[in-house]
Amino acid sequence: MVALDLRDLAKYPFLKEAQSYISNQTSSLDVFLASSTGQKAIEEALDTITRSLYFNPRQPPEVLMPVPSESSAVSRIISSYPVSRILVSCSGDRTFIERLCRFQAWKVFNYLQEEEPEKKEIIARSLGLSGSSTKIPVIQYIEIVAKLREEKWRLVNRCIERGIVTIHLDEIDEILRERLRVVMYQNLPIRVPPEVCTLLEPYLEKVQKVFQERMLEEFGSVEESAFPPCMQAIIGILIRRAHLTHMGRFAVTAFLHNIGMDNTRIVEIYGQVPNFDLTKTMYQVDHISGRGGSGTEYTSPLCSTMKTHALCVHRDALCDKVIHPLTYYKKKKWMIESGKKKSATNAKPEKENCPVKEDESSSPSGGDIANKIPATADNGDKHQ
């Protein structure tokens, strides 16, 4: 039978052989984390989590960094795997957990592309599957492909006989990838001693900062004037304390989360709603943002979906050029920022000692107040 070496354990650190290797390196978790070796493992884990936050499964990196040959570097990679699990468990944030699992599964998928058949079989069996069989029980299949959106994975497009789904040989690696993601996610978060989480708190703050920077890089600071008309209308409904459908609530919550608004700030907006329930609202916002419940981080609906639910209102010229509210927001924000830069560049300096006389009859211009997000949720009429 083929044997696994240390470099194999670095590629597949979830294997029991890798766990045994780590256990033999230290007798105490807190002692290990405080050691120089532990510090290097923490840094490696932080790097992995950071890469997971920036990872886009629709545009994955073309090249995966090869496993180093130096034994110390290999050992650091193996040790960083449980440390990364500890870090995201201490965070209590389902978004970090989901993204770490997704990224780790993608790495394994890439290694499997060039793996020896005997070793691939070891990996598959560790996940309760076979590296060569094209038969999967339907219940297990449904769980594995739940996150896959391609039509080919739908049960109606599969051959099912006596509760067994048939897959193609060239789909086995994808099945193994998704199975690993499911298994990793089901086993997180793990129970971590409070003193260990306290020890790792400075590193958790780094992770939080990276995530915020990631959101800012993608969307920049929140620009309310760039909101698409549909989202402005929904927020206007919330402010006016009118009835809003479940889909409307879902759409605006997912949208605000996607552009980087803090969950607490989103909850404040709902503070204007009659019969406002803080606990229930926080639960729903955390669920949609992926920080609670299933850990699934939802994206706001497509424009076509908004139309289906009668939420596509007050369309403007830019709406005809996009198919998603987030695309509208990005384009409109870019137009606003470009306009500001152009105005600043073309602005003429005032002549010295020649102040411009203001027209007292004019008034400042501005958008519809009903479409502005309130600065606070405090309101004497709300019920908690």
Q: Please report the pLDDT score of residue 369 as a whole number.
A: 32
Distance (Å) of CA 77 to CA 42, 68, 271: 10, 9, 46
Strand partners, 160: 165
Q: Please report the pLDDT score of residue 1 as a whole number.
A: 67
State the residue for tokens 């007050």.
314
Q: Please report the pLDDT score of residue 14 as a whole number.
A: 96
pLDDT along the chain (384 residues), means of 10: 90 95 85 92 95 85 82 94 96 86 95 93 94 93 91 93 95 96 94 94 90 68 86 85 84 92 86 78 88 77 93 93 93 86 59 44 36 37 38
3-state secondary structure of 164: strand
Q: Please report the pLDDT score of residue 147 as a whole number.
A: 86
Q: Please report the pLDDT score of residue 295 as a whole number.
A: 66
Q: pTM score, two decimals?
A: 0.66
Q: Please report the pLDDT score of residue 381 as a whole number.
A: 41
Q: What is the C-alpha to C-alpha distance for residues 63 and 132, in angstroms, rounded to an integer?
A: 26
Going by C-beta distance under 8 Å and a sequence separation of 6 or more, which residues neighbour residue 112? 120, 123, 173, 176, 177
Q: What is the C-alpha to C-alpha distance for residues 243 and 250, in angstroms, rounded to an integer?
A: 14
Q: What is the C-alpha to C-alpha distance for residues 17 and 22, in angstroms, rounded to an integer?
A: 9
Going by C-beta distance under 8 Å and a sequence separation of 6 or more, which residues neighbour residue 311? 230, 233, 234, 245, 247, 248, 251
Q: Please report the pLDDT score of residue 383 as a whole number.
A: 39
Q: Please report the pLDDT score of residue 371 as a whole number.
A: 37
Q: What is the C-alpha to C-alpha distance for residues 55 and 47, in angstroms, rounded to an integer?
A: 12
> C-alpha dihedral over 187, 191, 197, 198, to 10 degrees?
170
